[in-house]
Structure formats: C-alpha cells, structure tokens
Amino acid sequence: MEPTHPDDRIELRGLRVLGTHGVLAEEQQRPQPFELDLDVVVDTAAAAVSDDLADAVDYAALAAAAVDVVTGRPHRLLESLAAAVADAVLARPGVRQVTVAVRKLRPPVPFDLDHAGVRLTRPSR
C-alpha cells in the first residue's frame, strides 16, 4: 500500500474571471473582474509514482469548476461566492479539503483599495 501524504496540495494562483456579483445594482448588471486562489488538499502519492494524469486530481478541472461558479448565478456576498466555489471544488473526486480566496479587484468603495476579499477553508464531507 502506498503511503498517504495528508499535507499535499495543488495550488492555483491568480485565476481571473469576470462575474456579476455584489450588492449594488451596477455590480449585478455589469461583469467585473474577480481573482481566485485555491489550495486543494489531495493525496499525490499515486500520481507522483506513476506520472500519469489518471492518478492525479486534474488542476484544469479544478479551475474549470471555479470558473463555472464565478461565471454562473450571481451572489450578493463574497462569502457566498467563495463557499459556492469551495462546494464545487470539493465535489471533484480525490479532494480532501480546499481553501478558497476570492478577491474583487474593483470594489465599489470611495477609497484607494487594491481589492476586497474573503478566504475560507472547507473539509470534504
């Protein structure tokens, strides 16, 4: 039996997607840029030995799951959007846990603010 590695993870950084999320009417009508980071806890032991994608959790599929959420139904709050992304990633086979960071790159505030964001961590069920 191959050893498991409970701290192994796939990291996706700076995934940029347009979505219509926010409380204000203008945010719900006009797409705006969001940026996501995902830390996905998986066991990489089998893939590390075989060097075969069939034994790995496909990071392209993880990114696609996140993009589908951000381009899908609108969420008013970043917390809700991040939780929906987490649920979609956790639905993928082999995912043990995910940390999702969602950043709104043009937050509607009257300040010089680079971004507003939420980071949450969810275990598989």
Output the six-digit token pair for 83.
Answer: 């939780």
Which candidate in 26, 91, 104, 122 is catalytic? 104
Beta bridge partners of 87: none
Counts for the chain of helices (H) and strands (E), in that order:
4, 4
- Which residue is it, tokens 């964001």? 117
Contact 74, 25 (CB under 8 A): no
Output the six-digit token pair for 106.
Answer: 């043009």
- For residue 104, indicate whether it is catalytic: yes
What residues are annotated to the active site?
104
